[in-house]
Amino acid sequence: MTTKTPKQSKSYLDNLNDTQRQAVTHIDGPALIIAGPGSGKTRVLTYRVAHLIESGVAPWSILTLTFTNKAAKEMKERIEHVAGENGNKIWAGTFHSVFARILRIEAPQIGFPSDFSIYDSQDSKSAISEIVKNHGLDSKVYNSSAIYSRISLAKNNLISPKAYFEDADRILEDKQHKMPYLYKIYELYVRKLKRSGAMDFDDLLYNMNLLFEKNPENVLEKYQKRFKYILVDEFQDTNQLQYSIIKKLVKYSGSTNNICVVGDDAQSIYAFRGATIQNILNFEKDFPTISVFKLEQNYRSTSYIIKAANDIIAKNRKQIPKTIFTAKEGGERIGVIHAITDTEEARQITNLIVEQKNRYQLSNDDFAILYRTNAQSRVFEEALKAQRIAYKIYGGTSFYDRKEVKDVLGYLRVIVNPRDEEALKRVINYPTRGIGATSISKLTTIAEKENLSLWTILKNVQHADLPKRTENSIKQFVAMINLFQQRVQDSSAYELATHVVKITGIIQDIKKAKTIEAQNRIENVTELLDGIKSFVEEDEIDEFSTNIEDRSILSYLQNVVLLTDIDKDQEDVKCVKLMSVHSSKGLEFKSIMIVGMEENLFPSMMALKSKNLQAAIDEERRLFYVAITRAEQWLTLSYSSSRYRFGNMTYNSSSRFLDEISPKYLDLSTKVQTAKVSQPYNRKNTMNKLSAMSKPYVKAKMMANFKASPISDAITGAEILHQRFGNGKIISIDGDGNNKVATILFEEEVGEKRIMLKYAKIQVLK
């Protein structure tokens, strides 16, 4: 088959700016392309490969490594569009897919069959569980997920079972976690994989590195000669193991080190996955003859957004100096919204979306709400639903669809209605209590045959002919539910839910994994409890309030059902996107809202408690930089003075990152709920005023002697102190007895509120 001549020939170079063209046409020797956000990185990488082919380089001698199969596929399609059919002959794929392809050929060199199996995480955890069981270890202590994560981290840091055992710090850490035999499990797990002719996902990298180390001449040299040009995308996200393999491939005496890496140190945000920013920072030291190209022109965002991003990232210590600029001069200043509560923050953000849609003729899919932790999505989901705005959780699950949230709600549903079979099946053996699927299936069959509820069968389980151990477990479960039901009348919905989480041991069960994902799941459970507490204590009357007189657990569950029982979005429905900042990397939207800009949230509490505080803050700042640069035209930052966390009302100071942006790029007058004429811009005075209201010690001092007053003390004209909204004055009171509603004028930032006195947390001052 003859190769088609590309239609574009080299006219594609005309689509590049000067720096992009230099990066594309550079052929021989090592190259580092620093690609700022929105700088045309993908185009440069694609055109560089196309230019190599146009310049006579054999396409099969080009290796391009990416982090997603989608990116590799799109790149090959773009290259083929420019360079013709030859573009499809390059080696392009993820690290794992490319190395698996090589290992299929070379695996016998390290004692594996060419048709080795690849274990997914569930296969690996199952193998680990079997090892734990066969050696008589406690599976509750030696949790398979925690062990799997620990082994994965070791492999990605090039630590073999032998090196693991010889690492005194690791052994000590395992002993502190009451897992002194973890090193042995690692060794047995590796043996088991070898015996099974299998590799796990991490082995595709680990064994690739091992293959090259053990076979420097007959294997490594073969691939060094084959891959004469190597390109690596998103280089800042590589870990120690990936970089080790890359360096082996290019370190060859007959090679001219034709390696090109593309990335941005300012967007290195995956340290928790093992990525190390040192790879890109030290690249120049490893390849002294390097050519560096800095793509600094941004084609995505307006000038205020780009200048703010430069302000932020300039505060980081270790970085490759660059200054991003844009041709999109003008635009609007960055809005800053200060809310009193997180619920108010969600309402203002939702109202701003409505306002921008109307003012600028935008669609729902032009918007994204970014948060630091997935648990923050709850209040925004509720506010968007109240306004009937379609939305989707991007890269995650809707808050109320997350397993741990559904587990807690499942218990609450059973307490209210034990005949709820779906909820009952969900929780009867979670956390594990020895009631297996076979027993549940048998009991369900009996219930259907006798036309009785499953709950009725459970209460009479002694007649079901089950093993004595299972029967006892079911009796204990029934007794626990009965005790929960006895608390319904005397406990608030929040008190009951908190008690359920404690007694069932859901948090303890999640903690066993000792992973980042486990911590996120725990945060989701506590966020659910905080949401229930907010529901119980809500006293404000407005268009979003539902059934404010009834704060029972039944009322709460009904409220959740109304929030979550909506028709599935059709493919053509345009939705506002909700996502974590990590999930937003690589995406762009016309209007971005970054919410929860508070200390202990962004930067995160985990970062602020890190042993290496400066490095942790630097990573959080890079994360904020990524978030800011997703915005094309409008950017809004928001924070709240108070929010429920772990069941307690916390008073928050605004994030340090807000103070790192120059005043001239911000619009602090952004306020949607209450229409006001913006005052002349004065950042210093405004920030002093806002921070005075939000500093924790000020709020703590105000509330130190707080004591709620009886309803009878609340009269028109009284000056009061509200637990969340601060100082105010009662303007009028409507209704009688326990149904009294007060209209209260609070300080300027809060404005006028209608409060249900029955639920109000107010102290009458005079």
Q: Which of 41, 347, 425, 521 is catalytic?
A: 41
Burial of 467 (0-12, 13-18, 19+ CB in 10 A): exposed
E strand segments, 325-400: 325-326, 334-341, 367-371, 391-393
Single out the residue of 373, 156, 372, 164 nearest to residue 275, CA to CA.
156
Instruction: Return all residues near 431 (Cβ < 8 A) that are at least 6 apart.
Output: 504, 505, 506, 508, 509
Q: Which of 25, 42, 109, 519 is catalytic?
A: 42
C-alpha to C-alpha distance for 552 and 57, rounded to whole angstroms? 72
Tell me if the pTM is above 0.85.
no
List phi, psi (to 5°) of 753: -135, 150
Under the banding of pLDDT at 50, 70 and 90, the label for residue 643 is: confident
C-alpha to C-alpha distance for 122 and 130, rounded to whole angstroms? 12
C-alpha to C-alpha distance for 242 and 157, rounded to whole angstroms? 10
Q: What is the pLDDT of residue 415?
A: 93
Q: What is the pLDDT of residue 195?
A: 86
First to last CA, the chain: 93
Q: What is the pLDDT of residue 688?
A: 44
C-alpha to C-alpha distance for 506 and 404, rounded to whole angstroms? 8
- The rounded percent of the chain whose pLDDT value lies above 90 is 48
The answer to whether residue 22 is catalytic is no
In this prediction, residues 537-564 reach a mean pLDDT of: 65
Burial of 338 (0-12, 13-18, 19+ CB in 10 A): buried
Q: What is the pLDDT of residue 267?
A: 93
In this prediction, residues 476-495 reach a mean pLDDT of: 92
Q: Which of 150, 630, 643, 671 is catalytic?
A: 630
Q: Which of 46, 94, 267, 504 is catalytic?
A: 267
Q: What is the pLDDT of residue 25?
A: 93
* pLDDT for residue 359 is more than 60: yes
Lowest mean pLDDT among 168-177, 310-319, 332-341, 741-750: 741-750
Under the banding of pLDDT at 50, 70 and 90, the label for residue 693 is: very low
CB neighbours of residue 396 within 10 Å: 17
Both tokens of 407, joined, read 């587990």
Q: Which of 54, 80, 203, 234 is catalytic?
A: 234
Both tokens of 25, joined, read 């046409």
Kindly report, residue by residue over 702-761, the tens digit of the pLDDT. Answer: 555 677 888 888 888 888 888 777 788 888 888 777 778 888 888 766 777 888 887 787
Based on its alpha-carbon atoms, the radius of gyration of the chain, rounded to whole angstroms, reads 30
C-alpha to C-alpha distance for 584 and 607, rounded to whole angstroms? 20
Average pLDDT score, the chain = 85
Single out the residue of 703, 696, 607 nearest to residue 657, CA to CA.
607
* pLDDT for residue 766 is more than 90: no
Q: Which of 106, 202, 203, 233 is catalytic?
A: 233
Kindly report, residue by residue over 19-64, the tens digit of the pLDDT. Answer: 999 999 998 899 999 999 999 998 999 899 999 998 899 999 999 9
Kindly report, residue by residue over 663-681, the tens digit of the pLDDT. Answer: 999 998 765 543 332 333 3
The answer to whether residue 234 is catalytic is yes
Q: Which residues pair with 319 in a beta bridge?
A: none
* pLDDT for residue 660 is more than 80: yes
Lowest mean pLDDT among 77-81, 218-222, 391-395: 77-81
* pLDDT for residue 539 is more than 80: no
CA atoms within 13 A on the CB side of 307: 16
Q: What size, in residues, is the chain?
A: 766
C-alpha to C-alpha distance for 634 and 636, rounded to whole angstroms? 7
